[in-house]
Structure 1
Amino acid sequence: MIVDCAILGGGPAGLNAALVLGRAKRSVMVFDDNRPRNAVTQETHGFLTRDGIKPHEFRALAHQEISRYPSVNMQPVRVIGLRRADNAFEITTEKGDRFFAQTVLLATGLKEILPTIAGLPDYYGKSLFSCPYCDGWELRDQPLVIISERPQTFHLVKAVWNWSHDLLVCTNGHQVLTKEQHDLLRQKGIEVVEDRITALLGKQGQLERVVFATQGERERRGGFVASQLLQASPFTEELGCQLNAMGGIITDPLGRTNIPGVYAAGDTLLAVPHQLIIAAAGGSSAAAGVNADLTEREFL
């Protein structure tokens, strides 16, 4: 049996795509090993009617709604192989099972690599976050730290400035700011410490102090961390999907990649900001692209 679409990834993009395709009477298999990048997230924000919802609750609601559509089949298993086989795509799971689909939607998301700092994982997702649009409101007007070794440090500082003007920028021993950026931050009253961070201190996930190798320590109540983001699966490269300068998959407005029959949505595109509502919307658009292209095939 060949299904209309195999969706790799059961996050908001993959699930919303499954919903739209199910309502379009398309046969769909969703492969999801339930290892989301936002596993540490306590609440999800910015999604109208679902603001503040816990990720596992959102997931449960999504599965409940999708279950109304009998043509959508959920496969709670990791995919280890994906290749084109004649006029279809062959999907191999870690259990050794093989499935075939006319089209593939990549919603596998990203994996993030945090700066190597003692104690950072204890605070990440509790008082240190990655996206100010997701968690800035909860940290508004507090003394915050921005930890970044990445080239986008200055951009992140400007973004967080909207929620708090009491900022401390830490580059953990890296020089990622230009002299002009240093000068501008100084004019705004923003301290920059390029010394290496030796520890983050606090209680029960609540950050209290940032400790440096040679420059003492500073009190902070929370903040944001810039992590390195990489594609979570190897299939984008193996299939030959084109990537942008940031490493995100390039698509048209309906999720089509440069590879016929392969679509992408969600965080795989590295769209900014990385919000649930944006990922879900991308899944809906990609599903429309899949359905439109399958319909065109049927009229040939």
Structure 2
Amino acid sequence: MINNQKYDVIIVGGSYAGLSAALALGRAIRKVLVIDSGRPCNQQTPHSHNFLTRDGHTPAEISALGKSEVMKYPTIEFLADHVNAVSGENNDFEVFTAMGQILKTRKLIFSTGVKDLMPEIPGFADCWGISVIHCPYCHGYEYKDQITGVLANGDTAFEMALMIYNWTKQLFVFTNGKSELTDEQIQKLSARNISIIEKSFQTLIHTEGYLSSIRFTDGSSHFLNALYARPPFEQHCEVPKEIGCEINAAGYIQIDDLQKTSIPGVFAAGDNTSRFRSVSAAVAAGGKAGAFINHELVAEDQD
């Protein structure tokens, strides 16, 4: 089904970065389509923090409010769909969706986020974003002074433990197997009474995502309120990679200071481009992408 109208910008992904980009472009009176499949990575996180005016609100509440504000601008449209492919070049892209739509646009923004890859530990995925957490700035205050673990090894475990020690002194490092920490690192952690536990995980015991303990493969257990972890991830949408956007060594879409990818006319913003995963960072990146796309459109229209 071919849609004959041509958009100035199609935004793939309608969460915080995508909505923020749409807001900037709507206020620039650009014809914009936001395509979103409704699968945010933080969908089971109970509260979002560290974002001015909305601290403690649910991610869904913030998204819904953002969408309601963006929808006030008449040049912005929304489509509930999934983008399967993109072809073409700068100022002449075609976007193909799962529902059979073929849409034309001058520019593209991918604000598609990332997908966390859960370890094969029963209970981990159920607790992810609730009491198994990735960011002390987003969730640390709610677990301050509580019994907390770091699930990591080597340098990552050492760096995370030193950071999280500021939020709680009841801190343990779980290496889930043989420790890879150096003698010097172990000494520095021990000086702060941070214990290193090398036992292998069997399961996480929880109630509706809230941890109570870890059970180890030797049958023992350890009481715990919160567990920090950094599981691996993959891009939620493979289309940027498929059209040639450079992916850096860390697995993020490579962008420049203007949110441009390596493909002319294609921009990216949000968790798919940055280690700093927060609502505030995504909103800032989206607004920046929208503004610089508008500047690029203005410049091209003068040629």
Q: Report TM bin, short chain.
A: over 0.9
- SS of the aligned residue for 1:22 comes to helix
Greater shift, 148-157 or 161-170, is seen at 148-157
Distance 2:176 2:289 in 1: 39
1:278 corresponds in structure 2 to: 281
1:79 corresponds in structure 2 to: 83
- SS of the aligned residue for 1:267 comes to coil
Asked if 1 retains the 8 angstrom alpha-carbon contact of 2:84 and 2:239, the reply is no
Asked if residue 38 in structure 1 is aligned to residue 38 in structure 2, the reply is no
Deviation at 1:232, TM superposition (A): 0.8
Cα deviation 1:68-123 (Å, max 9, x = unaligned) = 11111101111111122584111111011100111110101000012221222232
Deviation at 1:42, TM superposition (A): 0.5
1:231 corresponds in structure 2 to: 235
CA distance change for structure 1 residues 260 and 43 in 2, over 3 Å: closer, same or farther? Answer: same
Cα deviation 1:121-162 (Å, max 9, x = unaligned) = 232232221211100000001110112368633322222122
Q: Which amino acid aligns with 1:155?
A: E
CA distance change for structure 1 residues 187 and 225 in 2, over 3 Å: closer, same or farther? Answer: same
1:93 corresponds in structure 2 to: 97
Distance 1:90 1:176 in 2: 49
The ranges of structure 1 where at least 4 consecutive aligned residues each deviate by more than 4 angstroms after the TM superposition are none
Cα deviation 1:17-37 (Å, max 9, x = unaligned) = 001100000111111000000
Deviation at 1:243, TM superposition (A): 2.5
Q: Which amino acid aligns with 2:287?
A: S
Asked if 2 retains the 8 angstrom alpha-carbon contact of 1:102 and 1:261, the reply is yes
Q: How does 1:215-254 map to 2 (within 5 A)?
A: 216-254=220-258
2:194 corresponds in structure 1 to: 190
Which of 163, 169, 184 does residue 167 from structure 2 map onto?
163
- Structure 1 vs Structure 2: percent identity of aligned residues? 35
Deviation at 1:182, TM superposition (A): 2.6
Unaligned runs of 5+ in 2: none
Which of 283, 292, 295 does residue 292 from structure 1 map onto?
295
Unaligned runs of 5+ in 1: none
Q: Normalising by the residue count of structure 2, what TM-score does the alignment of the two structures yield?
A: 0.93
Which of 197, 210, 222 does residue 206 from structure 1 map onto?
210
Asked if 1 retains the 8 angstrom alpha-carbon contact of 2:173 and 2:195, the reply is yes
1:260 corresponds in structure 2 to: 264
Greater shift, 87-96 or 274-283, is seen at 87-96
1:137 corresponds in structure 2 to: 141
Greater shift, 15-24 or 175-184, is seen at 175-184
Cα deviation 1:184-241 (Å, max 9, x = unaligned) = 2222211112221012223333212112223722111122121112111112211222
Q: Normalising by the residue count of structure 1, what TM-score does the alignment of the two structures yield?
A: 0.94
Distance 1:203 1:100 in 2: 48
CA distance change for structure 1 residues 230 and 196 in 2, over 3 Å: closer, same or farther? Answer: same
2:61 corresponds in structure 1 to: 57
